[in-house]
């Protein structure tokens, strides 16, 4: 068994090597900004998870899609939903367009102009949450329709 020993650094050893040459690019002083970035990343992750769950309805959970990008996942969802005769394709198509825009926006998160604008980060996170709710609603409606008793009358009211 290999055991690594840890030696206390002296002032002389700390002043040389990598520790002396690495500096942070930006200090994390703005906790509100950091929280906004975290919220945006979490909202994106939840949206991608919702798309994966929705997609699993069309392939009975047999296929693993986790490694794909959000853009690729929503494209596949759109294709599989269309092939399955999904009843609310116009709404799903609109959600797919919004998800593709969100996937592109995620890349902008790391640009200075966007990442320093805390209100824009919060707005983007809220938009992702609304999109996630839309997709979850479409998914739930699809499951309810698929599992409704044959003699049940379809609800004329749209949510």
Q: Domain segments of the chain: what residues?
A: 30-146
CB of 28 closer than 8 Å to CB of 34: yes
- Give the orientation angle of helix 70-83 with respect to helix 89-108, to 10 degrees: 170
Where do we find the tokens 């853009």? 71
Q: Give the pLDDT confidence score for residue 5 in this predicted structure.
A: 46
- Indicate the pTM of the whole model: 0.69
- Give the orientation angle of helix 118-146 with respect to helix 89-108, to 10 degrees: 150
Q: Give the pLDDT confidence score for residue 93 in this predicted structure.
A: 95
The whole-number mean pLDDT for each consecutive block of 10 residues of the chain, a chain of 159 residues, reads: 49 58 61 82 90 86 74 91 91 93 74 70 88 92 84 54
What is the full DSSP assignment across 33-76? Answer: HHHHHHHHHHHHHHHHHHHHHHHHHHTTT-S--TTS-HHHHHHH
CB of 23 closer than 8 Å to CB of 107: no
Q: Give the pLDDT confidence score for residue 101 in this predicted structure.
A: 87
Q: Give the pLDDT confidence score for residue 114 in this predicted structure.
A: 64
Other Cβ atoms less than 10 A from the Cβ of 76: the count is 17
Residue 148, classed as helix, strand or coil, is: coil
Q: Give the pLDDT confidence score for residue 41 in this predicted structure.
A: 85
């Amino acid at each position: 068994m290999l055991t690594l020993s840890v030696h206390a650094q002296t002032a002389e050893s700390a002043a040389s090597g990598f520790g002396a040459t690495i500096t942070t690019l930006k200090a994390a002083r703005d906790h509100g900004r950091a929280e906004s970035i975290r919220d945006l990343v979490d909202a994106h992750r939840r949206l991608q998870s919702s798309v994966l769950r929705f997609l699993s309805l069309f392939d009975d959970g047999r296929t693993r899609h986790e490694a794909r990008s959000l853009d690729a996942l929503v494209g596949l969802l759109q294709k599989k939903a269309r092939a399955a005769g999904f009843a609310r394709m116009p709404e799903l198509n609109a959600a797919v367009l919004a998800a593709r825009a969100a996937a592109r926006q995620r890349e902008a998160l790391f640009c200075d102009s966007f990442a320093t604008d805390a209100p824009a980060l919060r707005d983007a996170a809220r938009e992702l949450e609304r999109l996630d709710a839309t997709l979850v609603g479409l998914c739930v409606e699809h499951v309810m329709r698929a599992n409704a008793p044959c003699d049940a009358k379809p609800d004329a009211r749209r949510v």
